[in-house]
Amino acid sequence: MPQDACRNVFPSRLLIDLRIDIITLFPKIFFGPFDESIVARARKQGIVDINTVDLRDFSHDERGTVDDKPYGGGPGMLMKPEPLFEAVEALRKENTLLIMTCPQGEVFTQKTARELSKKEHLLIICGHYEGVDERVRVLVDREISIGDYVLTSGNLPAMVITDAVVRLLPGALGCPESEVDESFSNGLLEYPQYTRPAVYRGMKVPDILLSGNHEEIARWRKKESEQRTKDKRPDLLSNQ
């Protein structure tokens, strides 16, 4: 592909590919991440519509109470069911997939991102405090975790999920080949990449990449990708 082939290829769009609604206690935390880089460009191009919803808008008192002490005792507070049920009922459509970010959920992967990128409407509940009232789970289609560690809330996982999904939407990256060659897209880690200068502080770019032989370059990249995966993430090879 010519070097400039990835530039200025955004199509004119009449319909949005994906709408993402995020139910959160802290809507302002999303302003920075979604107003920069690829996600911002996708929003501007009309590829995706992202909307943050303040859960406190669905509270039942002037204080905006959305949490309470757990029955049976224990540390911390739980998110109350009423605001979450009512928020979901206000936002859910016939084509909605409802996700809750949760440490107990399935681990988020590139495969998951690809599945979600094919949906028309994602509704994401960001957990907080010690968790949510168990009854909220009857609403949820998928519970997703981004890893085996504890965060302050589900806001960062919601950002991660959104970023990974949006960049898979047609036109979001500008160049369709970009996603194909990335780590995890084919179950392997990405091969080594180099740019100018050809020699820097005594470190040379592999001769094969300067040869212009695209068939040999493709073979080299495949071999390097397999070796890098074997060295760094052998667990991925068991899924091949």
**pLDDT tens digits for 60-79?**
999 999 999 999 998 999 99
Domain covering 18-166: architecture: 3-Layer(aba) Sandwich (3.40)
- For the chain, which ranges sit under pLDDT 70? 1-15, 175-185, 239-240
CATH 3.40.1280.10 residue ranges for the chain: 18-166
Whole-prediction pTM? 0.85
Of 153, 184, 139, 162, residue with least CA distance to 43: 162
Query: Are 99 and 122 spatial neighbours (Cβ–Cβ below 8 Å)?
Result: yes
What integer pLDDT is reported at residue 139 of this predicted model? Answer: 98
Fold held by 181-237: Trp Operon Repressor; Chain A (1.10.1270)
pLDDT at 10: 43
Tell me the residue type at 184: F
Tokens of 143: 């519970």
